[in-house]
Amino acid sequence: MDVKQQTAKSDFPGQIHETPGGGIVLSKLDDVINWARSNSLWPLTFATSCCGIEYMAVAGAKYDFSRFGFEVARATPRQADVIIIAGTIVNKMAPVLKRLYDQMADPKYVIAMGACAISGGPFFYNTYSVVKGADHVIPVDVYVAGCPPRPEALLHALIKLQEKIKSGLTREQIRKDKE
Amino acid sequence: MFEEVGTTTEGDIIINVGPQHPATHGVLHLVITLNGETIKKVEPHLGYIHRSIEKMCESLSYRQFIYVTSRMDYLSSHINNHACALCVEKGLQVEVPPRAQVIRVLMDELTRIASHELWWGAMAMDLGAFTPFFHAFRERESINDIMEETCGARLTMNYMVPGGVMQDLHPNFQKKVKEFMQLYKRKIHEYDELVTGNIIFQNRMKNVGYLSAEDAVSYGCSGPAARGSGVSCDIRKIYPYEIYDKLEFDEVLETGGDSFARYMVRIREMQQSIRIIEQLIDNIPEGDFQAKTKAVLKLPKGEFYTRVETARGELGVYIVSEGGTTPYRIKFRSPGFSNLSVLDHIARGSKLGDLVAMMGTLDLVIPDIDR
């Protein structure tokens, strides 16, 4: 396949003008940065309960999130870009989650995976210890419904997050625009 | 957040592992006192995923509370549901139809294989080998597909109900299970070639984390953790429930007591589960899949206790009923809690790097411990 055709067909933001001796790309720097960012998001290996197993299944060969640039799961928040809250957050865990989020370097993104991370899920009623939604603790970009969500649902959420980053609509980008 | 870092007056180093740490398989917090690289003390801190399931169950009816228990030990969710269903049936004195009994045992054993496979992949990943994880998930996904067809879920099944199972088997069930068993038999030797026979793996596992039979009993260990020390504790053999007394299978016992023995118990247990499934898959009796029960269940006044063998050990369900529609008190005896309590004992005196191997072979599921 011709190389020029390949770049023209990809989702790279900008126009390619062909000139003798090579092509010239015209684009906004922000768009290029967002495009680059969105295609290599490193998740934090963070799982508190059942959703963690589906998170592992997404890392497995059948669903394989490395196709979308997520394969480098980091164990330390300092190297991670996106935190997937896979599981219930309880009152004792909430400060830890906040701390993990604070330790991540900007830009950072959050996916709330499963009913527990969205609202407390099946533990919404009658419990004294569950935080009713992880967004009480840290801001969330994408919510995935399910108990636990299917791997396809998590993949969909990851792609949605990429779209959000590419369109320049994440929280920290909006904040930057305001300043 | 409780935390202590630094050095003690004797010059020992105190470090924290977790709550967010890939080797703790969840959110376990270990405070480890180290003398150089040698472990002097391991102190587990629990509660980072305490969801008050026992308290929740007190306000849910006898049909509803089973769904919450799927989230306890989510790797053997069928078996958790099974234990609760058995306890309610004991109170109601309901006879489960033979078809439902066979379906339950089939599902339990498939779950056991799926759970052990995930353990195998995750434990090898803890030790630094990433490939086994993909091999394990390849087989596990085919079990998940079978589960999904019949139960509608991949992980938290909620399939067992008081009186039987929720719905009949999917027409493809037998065919799919046979396909899975063929796949499994073709691939099982890869497990040994990749990991079991590996000299690096054996050096890291043998003579590490020794647990004697006496200690296993006195700490209340159960499941593969105790059977690796030669303690006969398989509930399926000593207190058979459902149709386990009519089935031919061996209780897997190893006498090594070290991490490698516990590893081998699980590997051999998967083959025994295959053996059970082989006996049953062509002999599923016709008939009802659920006994007729009342819409609103009421247990008579009293106390009821049942126990089953999960992939991790003995799970006990203790219900105190006051005669109402909800339990007065529920207590779960989870295998993970007792197995975790032995960690300090077996880790003392060994190196910090070996702690991961020990925790891997104890096969801890933290939401099962915290509940």
- For residue B318, what pLDDT is reported? 92
3-state secondary structure of B356: helix
Give B149: exposed, middle or buried? Use CB within 10 Å, 0-12, 13-18, 19+.
Answer: middle
Does A26 share its domain with A51?
no
Domain interval for residue A148: 41-159
Beta carbons of B315 and B77 less than 8 angstroms apart? no
Tell me the average confidence (pLDDT) per consecutive run of 10 residues in chain A, 179 residues long. 49 80 82 83 86 87 84 84 89 89 87 89 82 89 88 89 81 70
The residues, any chain, with a CB within 8 Å of residue A82's CB and separated by 6 or more, are A41, A42, A43, A44, A70, A108, A109, A110, A111, A161
CA distance between the termini of chain B = 19
B133 touches chain A (CB under 8 A): yes
Q: State which residue of chain B sits closest to A46, comparing Cα positions.
A: B20
Shortest distance, CA B50 to any CA of chain A (angstroms): 7
Same-domain check for residues A49 and A127: yes
Closest chain B CA to residue A61: B134
Query: Is residue A81, in this structure, part of any structural domain at all?
Result: yes
C-alpha angle B111-B115-B121 in degrees, rounded to nearest 5: 145
User: Rounded to the nearest 5°, which phi and psi values hold at A151?
Assistant: -55, -35
Query: What's the pLDDT at B1?
Result: 40
**Cis geometry, peptide bond prior to residue A148 (ω within 30 degrees of 0):** yes
Query: Among B281, B293, B236, B288, which Cα is nearest to B98's?
Result: B288
Q: Which CATH architecture has domain B52-370?
A: Orthogonal Bundle (1.10)
Quick one: tokens of B103?
A: 């379906």
Residue A171 inside a domain? The answer is no
Q: How far apart are CA B1 and CA A94, in angstroms?
A: 9
Q: Is position A120 within any domain? A: yes
Nearest Cα neighbor of B96 from B159, B164, B160 is B164
pTM: 0.87
| Contact: B20, A88; criterion CB under 8 Å | no
Nearest one of B86, B105, B112 to B311, comparing CA atoms? B112
Domain identity same for A56 and A88:
yes
Read off φ and ψ for residue B6, nearest 5 degrees.
135, -155
> What residue of B is the nearest CA neighbor of A73?
B22
Alpha-carbon distance B132 to nearest alpha carbon in chain A (angstroms): 11
B20: nearest Cα among A44, A148, A80:
A44
Residue A130 and residue A56 in one domain: yes
The number of C-beta contacts closer than 8 angstroms across A and B is 110
Handedness of CA B317, B121, B213, B367 (dihedral sign): negative
pLDDT of residue B124: 87
By the CB < 8 Å criterion, does B137 face chain A?
yes
The helices-and-strands tally (H runs, E runs) of chain A is 7, 6
Residue A166 located in a structural domain: no
**A108 and A25 assigned to the same domain:** no
Q: B150: which 2 tokens?
A: 């019949």
| Residue ranges in chain B modelled with pLDDT below 70 | 1-5
Nearest-CB residue to A90 (from B26, B49, B154): B49
Residue with tokens 């295959």, as numbered in its chain: B274
Residues A111 and A93 in one domain: yes
pLDDT of residue A10: 60
Asked if the Cβ–Cβ distance from B48 to A148 is below 8 Å, we say: no
Q: Do A53 and B75 touch (CB under 8 A)?
A: yes
Q: End-to-end alpha-carbon separation of chain A, Å? A: 45
Give which of A64, A126, A137 to mutate to test B binding, by max B Cβ within 10 Å.
Answer: A126
Residues A126 and A143 in one domain: yes
pLDDT at B5: 67
Q: Which of left, alpha, beta for A110 (phi over 0: left; psi -120 to 50: alpha)?
A: beta
* B55 contact partners, CB below 8 Å, separation of at least 6: A126, A127, A128
Which of B21, B71, B141 comes nearest A49 by C-beta? Answer: B71
Phi, psi of B346 (to 5 degrees): -80, -20
The residue whose two tokens read 């001796």 is A21
> How many CB atoms are closer than 10 A to CB A109?
26
**In the structure encoding, which two tokens stand for residue A131, read together?**
């935080």
The pair of structure tokens assigned to A54 is 């589906």
Which pLDDT value is given to residue B136? 87
Instruction: Please name the residue ranges forming H helices in chain A.
Output: 3-9, 29-38, 51-59, 94-103, 114-119, 151-166, 171-178
Q: Residues in chain A whose beta carbon is closer than 8 A to a beta carbon of chain B?
A: 44-50, 52-54, 56-57, 59-62, 75, 77, 87-88, 90, 92-93, 95-96, 99-100, 122-123, 125-130, 147-148, 150
Task: Enter the ipTM.
Answer: 0.85
Burial of residue A128 (number of CB atoms within 10 Å: 0-12, 13-18, 19+): exposed
Name the one residue in this structure whose structure tokens are 């969909």: A156
B88 and A CB contact within 8 Å: no
Give the separation between CA B215 and CA B71, rounded to whole angstroms.
30
| Shared domain check, A131 and A61 | yes
**What 3-state DSSP class applies to B307?**
strand
Q: What is the CATH number of the domain that holds A82?
A: 3.40.50.12280
User: What pLDDT score does A6 carry?
Assistant: 46
Q: Which residues of B275-301 are buried (b: 16+ CB within 10 A; e: fewer)?
A: ebbeebbeeeeeeebbbebeeebebee
**Which residue is closest to B77 within chain A, CA to CA?**
A50
Co-location of A21 and A51 in the same domain: no
Contact B215, B224 (CB under 8 A): no
Query: For the residues of B129-148, what is the DSSP string, one character each?
Result: --HHHHHHHHHHHHHHHHHH
Q: Is B250 on the interface with A (CB under 8 A)?
A: no
Same domain, A27 and A49: no
| Residues A81 and A21 reside in one and the same domain | no
Q: Which residues of B touch A96 (CB under 8 A)?
A: 1, 19-20, 27, 48
Determine which of A127, A128, A130 to mutate to test the interface with B (most B C-beta atoms within 10 Å): A127
User: CB of A112 within 8 A of CB of A142?
Assistant: yes
Quote the number of domains for chain A. 2
Same domain membership, residue A54 and residue A136: yes
Q: Do A122 and B67 touch (CB under 8 A)?
A: yes
